[in-house]
Structure 1
Amino acid sequence: MADEPDFDVPVGLFQDVEDLKATVARLSALVETLSQGTGEPGGAFADGADSGEVLEDEPEPEEEWQSPPFILLLDPPQYDDELRALIEWVEGVLVPGYLAEPSADARWCHLWFEHPVAVARLHACWLAWQELTDPATCGYTGPSVWHRDHLDPCLRELRGSSGPFAGCSKNVHQVEHRMPGLVPSAWRGAGEENA
């Protein structure tokens, strides 16, 4: 062969180089076709007719992203599973790391999971924590954003004097003080009567 150099090089190396040249040429032609708008992805080259070989399968389309469920709208057993995971996070991360001793200015109820408002707010804070502490999705500023935009407002609302723990103290647990007399229709199932 005239293209081969005079020094001793394994023949397989030349075959690899030729394969790479063919692949680059095929991909360049595909890019050209697509940039001119005359073809569709995978059209001319997917069957391998022009190149003599079949291209790898295209990756499967990703599942459609679904927004996280609002915990108060879940039915058992999904609610129970979500609440169990939330309790684990609150008791394992939030309480020991962020909650000081409760006081008149910073209330907390050890039975927080019996307060629907607290469950809803803490669940939202937990979902944000999951996203904003994952380096793959948040970058370096995620934890700071989580503290500023999610944790601090959540704790202010929960622990404030008008929050869901307003009637609770170290020895007293009271849920009824925050329950409205009339539940908005969007929160009730069909056919339920007003209380």
Structure 2
Amino acid sequence: MADEEVPDFEVPVGMFEDLEDVKAQLAALSAQVEALTEGADTDLGEASTGEEPEAGEDSAEEDEWQYPPFILLLDSPLYDDELRALIEWVEGVLVPGYLAEPSSDARWCHLWWEHPPAVARLHALWLAWQELTDPAACGYTGPSVWHRDHLDPCLRELRGSSGPFAGCTKGEHQIDHRLPGAVPSAWRQGDS
């Protein structure tokens, strides 16, 4: 057996590089699995340093919102600031780009911010727009998803005959037609 000849295979150099990449990826995945199974609180793709963060490092991050807040849960002045930004987007992007002349089949109220259900839906639409129009976050299909999954259903609900603008006509604005009586709010603490 010692005299057996080893076949002469030509192995491309690139294959060795590919194998080294696979080994490195496998090592990184193994480290992530080990960290996750040990209950470590590390992000995927981040190597564990073994050091615990100091108490003051995370406290500032915990005090801030991790995700955009739902507008109806905000109190002044945060609500006012968020509403101002929403008004800029609705009046600057949505109205000129997507809303044709209002009609009995497609209602719109020029004082839409006085209709809380409309504010809630438009805010959710705006949050989705912010995420889905960023190619770095969602690729190039994000705008299509936004139109299909967010814009179209939102406009159907807002502009429909039973939507928040049902009592508003081209020359008349009504908000009392949809407001319920005084009911304690489950969303805000302190309401009774």
- Name the TM tier (shorter chain): 0.5 to 0.7
Instruction: Give the Cα–Cα distance (whole angstroms) in 2 for the partners of residues 88 and 70 of structure 1.
Output: 17
**Distance change in 2, residues 1:181/1:139 (3 Å):** same
1:54 corresponds to:
none
Deviating 4+ runs (over 4 angstroms): 40-43
- For structure 2, list consecutive stretches of 5 or more residues without a partner in the other structure: 1-23, 35-46, 52-56
**Distance change in 2, residues 1:118/1:41 (3 Å):** closer
Aligned pairs for 1:173-188 (under 5 A) are 173-188=173-188
**Offset at 1:188?**
4.8
Is 1:150 equivalent to 2:150 in the alignment?
yes
2:10 corresponds to:
none
Question: How high is the sequence identity, in percent, across the aligned residues?
Answer: 79
Deviations 1:80-121 (A, max 9, x none): 100000000000000000001000000000000000000000
Could you tell which deviates more after superposition, 182-191 or 171-180? 182-191
**Distance change in 2, residues 1:191/1:144 (3 Å):** closer
- Number of equivalenced pairs: 144
1:98 corresponds to:
98
* Structure with larger RCO (C-alpha < 8 A, sep 6+): 2
Instruction: Give the Cα–Cα distance (whole angstroms) in 2 for the partners of residues 87 and 109 of structure 1.
Output: 13
Provide the TM-score with structure 1 as the length reference. 0.66
Instruction: Give the Cα–Cα distance (whole angstroms) in 1 for the partners of residues 142 and 191 of structure 2.
Output: 43
Instruction: Give the Cα–Cα distance (whole angstroms) in 2 for the partners of residues 68 and 95 of structure 1.
Output: 23
Instruction: Give the Cα–Cα distance (whole angstroms) in 1 for the partners of residues 80 and 49 of structure 2.
Output: 46
**Distance change in 2, residues 1:181/1:191 (3 Å):** closer
Provide the TM-score with structure 2 as the length reference. 0.67
- For structure 1, list consecutive stretches of 5 or more residues without a partner in the other structure: 1-27, 47-59
Give 2:89's aligned amino acid: W
